[in-house]
A and B are shown apart, each in its own frame.
Chain A
Amino acid sequence: MSLEEKIISTFKQKNSKLAEVFNQAFELFEQKGFPTKKNEDWKYTSLKKLLKTDYSLVTEINNNIEAKDVEPFFIGADTYKVVLVDGFYNADLSHVDTDKITISSMQDAIENNAELVEKHFAKVADNNQEMVALNTISFNDGVFVNIPNNVILDKPIEVINIATGVLGDTLIQPRNLIVVGKNADAKLIERHQNISENTILTNSVTEISVGENAYYYHYKIQNDTEVSNLVDNTFVDQNRYSNAYVDTFAFGGNVTRNNLSFLLNGENAVANLDGISLLNKNQHVDNFTFVDHRVPNCDSNELYKGIYDDKSKGVFTGKVMIRKDAQNTKGDQQNNNILLSENAQINAKPQMEIYADDVKAAHGCTIGQLDDDALFFMRQRCIPLKEAKAMLMYAFASEALKNVKVEELKTQINKQIAQKLGVNIEFGV
């Protein structure tokens, strides 16, 4: 039985509260299956090899994880802590003692927050995308966050997704919903971590609604093990005067595909997308970004930096749609890359579709190497080659850290970069 057949037969009978959405997604997935390279949007990332693995599907909660297993993956700051284990919300390991906001399991929210869930669930996420439809029909659980109007959250939320591998190679599909109210301000850090040797494929869907005049920051730390694969589908719906930030830091993992969509539905909203991909060996990271300017007077700013060594491969697609009504749009997109090896690759594609006439849209894409003259200069000043290279790479990439507003997170990211580059340098100090 193929994975597709297995999923379809396992979830066909699922009695869902969200029957309509479920049925529609089911039909689509049954018809289309997994995306293939024939799909233009998946031209540079093939799931074929990944799908040869016979993944177990998670159907029940596994409670064998202890706090000490999760501890190392937090940033080491005072935060609200959420732990998902194989896609299930784990209340014992989560620490969210506050009554100002709601943080709960998605299952709980479907039961007890039905109104909000109904309003947002599968509304921003595009169920016509195969991987989203797949998640819709087969997710078990996830995290639900509701930040009420006017709440300035006192500390960030950390969401750690643990993959246990207890079922062997596993397909994990968290489904998250984050609702940020009017005038609210919140920050969330999301991380995926496989604590086993087994192959993991995570297909996660996160829907985020950012209310009027709200600020929302979402940081993704993708620094998983070599047998871990991730398809991350994140959709951000922005209302008037809202500011949303999504930062994607891809250092680890095997194959990673980030489908990141911003839907600008309210005027004067600002969308910010930053990313650093720092890859080596056979790693593959595909950042597929989409910004949909639907209304006038919105800005979008996109900065992705990539450094590729060995046989690693990066893909960047910057799709920006500026619709007919979206007058006075400002769109800026920069994608800068460094190739450190002859066998490393980057496919970069800005894709601007502009139907409005009063628009300021700029995009730039560069591919370069480390500057030999700068390296010689640094070595002349006693700095060994490896460290000199690392310093130049950090200098190149760190511009994309500009929206990291949590000090401990920045320190953590700097450490991870140093570790990845194999140097003992305290970056950013």
Chain B
Amino acid sequence: MLKLKNIKASVEDKDILKGLNLEIKPGEIHAIMGPNGAGKSTLSSVIAGKEKFSVDAGEIEFEGEVINDLAPEERAHKGIFMSFQHPIEIPGVTTTNFVKAAVNAKRVAEGKEELTPGEMLRLIKEKSALLELDRKFLSRSLNEGFSGGEKKRNEIFQMAMLEPKLAILDETDSGLDIDALRIVANGVNMLRSPERSAIVITHYQRLLDYIVPDFVHVLYDGRIVKTGGKELALELEEKGYDWIKEEIDNK
């Protein structure tokens, strides 16, 4: 589904990703862990097409197509979704109007009819119930004055509305209490299928009890330096990253 081949990326002349390789097959869930500043969010943004980051080398291949030159919305139309570590507030645009616009934009790009207001309403009701999002939130400006946890649930609500093929969850669990974590994980698991994949970026193995990954990678200094199964997450949480840093720095 997704192949990253030797990706080098920078922002404002600062090299952040330094030759990153990753392959994700349909149906797989990959967890990415790593110390602060390693480049995890940068990786998400690069896949999603944020223009501020320049991809200086390497290819991003999605479903067999090189997407380096595609605009963010074109990538989104192909089924790439990224849940933001820091969701953006958009004063003056209600959550409802925003998701309506998003869902219909995707449908138009896919050559489908826009949903009727009735269909849209039903879909919003169904998905917001899944995420236990209060109606009040839906009629408020997007993320404005939302708590950290509410913003994250709102992200997963939008994901549920858009049903992406590849979901990148950037620290969606940070700041969630255990109930919210279950709700969010449930939202993610509802989408699991042999055709859909996910990248789960987290600092805590706790999330991985609910969203069980097929692989766990360690991202350090712009590269994936270690890959293992879900037990690697436990080990990392117990021992921290110093032993990995040592391993790398000694090489």
Write the residues of chain A forming the contact surface with B, with a CB cutoff of 8 angstroms.
371-374, 376-385, 387-388, 391-392, 394-396, 398-399, 425, 429
Contact = CB atoms under 8 A, between A and B. Distances in A.
In this complex, the member of B73, B87, B97, B99 whose beta carbon has the largest number of chain A beta carbons within 10 angstroms is: B73
B158 interface: yes
Contact of B88 (A374, A382, A391): A374
Contacts of A385: 71, 73
A373 B73 CA distance: 14
Given A382-B77, A383-B73, A385-B71, A377 B92 contact: no
A381 B87 CA distance: 12
A425 B72 contact: no
For the complex of A and B, 5 pairs with smallest distance between CB atoms: A395-B92, A379-B72, A377-B88, A382-B106, A381-B102
A399 B93 CA distance: 11
Interface in B30-85: 48-52, 71-73, 76-77, 81-82, 84
Nearest to B107: A382
A376 B72 contact: yes
Contacts of A374: 88, 90
A383 B75 CA distance: 11
Given A382-B105, A429-B97, 19 more contacts: A371-B88, A373-B88, A376-B52, A377-B87, A377-B88, A378-B90, A379-B71, A380-B81, A380-B82, A381-B158, A382-B106, A382-B109, A383-B101, A383-B102, A384-B73, A387-B101, A395-B90, A395-B91, A395-B141
Interface of B: 48-52, 71-73, 76-77, 81-82, 84, 87-88, 90-93, 97-99, 101-103, 105-106, 109, 141, 158, 162
A380 B88 CA distance: 12
Contacts of B88: 371, 373-374, 377
Contact of A376 (B50, B92, B106, B109): B50
A387 B97 CA distance: 13
Contacts of A372: 52
Contacts of B141: 395
A392 B90 contact: yes
A392 B101 CA distance: 13
Nearest to B50: A376
A384 B105 CA distance: 7
Contacts of B72: 376, 379-380
Contacts of A387: 101, 105
Given A381-B76, A385-B71, A391 B82 contact: no
Contacts of B90: 374, 377-378, 391-392, 395
A184 B52 CA distance: 56
A391 B91 CA distance: 11
Contacts of B87: 377
A395 B143 CA distance: 14
Contacts of A376: 48, 50-52, 72
Nearest to A384: B73
B190 to A, nearest CB: 19
B92 A398 contact: yes
A382 B102 contact: yes
Contacts of B162: 381-382
Nearest to A427: B97
A185 to B, nearest CB: 29
A407 to B, nearest CB: 18
Nearest to B104: A382
Given A391-B93, A394-B92, A379 B73 contact: yes
B51 A391 contact: no
A374 B84 CA distance: 11
Nearest to A394: B92
Nearest to A399: B92
Contacts of B99: 381
A368 to B, nearest CB: 13
A380 B76 contact: yes
A382 B76 contact: yes
A383 B105 contact: yes
A380 B92 contact: no
B247 to A, nearest CB: 35
In this complex, the member of A372, A373, A382, A399 whose beta carbon has the largest number of chain B beta carbons within 10 angstroms is: A382
Contacts of B93: 391-392, 395
B116 to A, nearest CB: 13
B60 to A, nearest CB: 15
A425 B92 contact: no
Contacts of A377: 84, 87-88, 90
A399 to B, nearest CB: 7
A377 B103 CA distance: 14
A337 to B, nearest CB: 16
28 contacts: A373-B88, A374-B88, A376-B48, A376-B50, A376-B72, A377-B84, A377-B88, A379-B49, A379-B72, A379-B76, A380-B48, A380-B82, A381-B99, A381-B102, A381-B162, A382-B76, A382-B77, A382-B105, A382-B109, A383-B105, A384-B105, A385-B71, A387-B101, A392-B90, A395-B91, A396-B92, A399-B92, A425-B101
Contacts of A388: 73
A382 B92 contact: no
Contacts of B92: 394-396, 398-399
A383 B109 CA distance: 10
A378 B88 CA distance: 9
A317 to B, nearest CB: 26
Contacts of B48: 376, 380
Nearest to B106: A382
Nearest to A393: B92
A394 to B, nearest CB: 7
A283 B105 CA distance: 31
A116 B90 CA distance: 50
B98 to A, nearest CB: 7
A168 B91 CA distance: 47
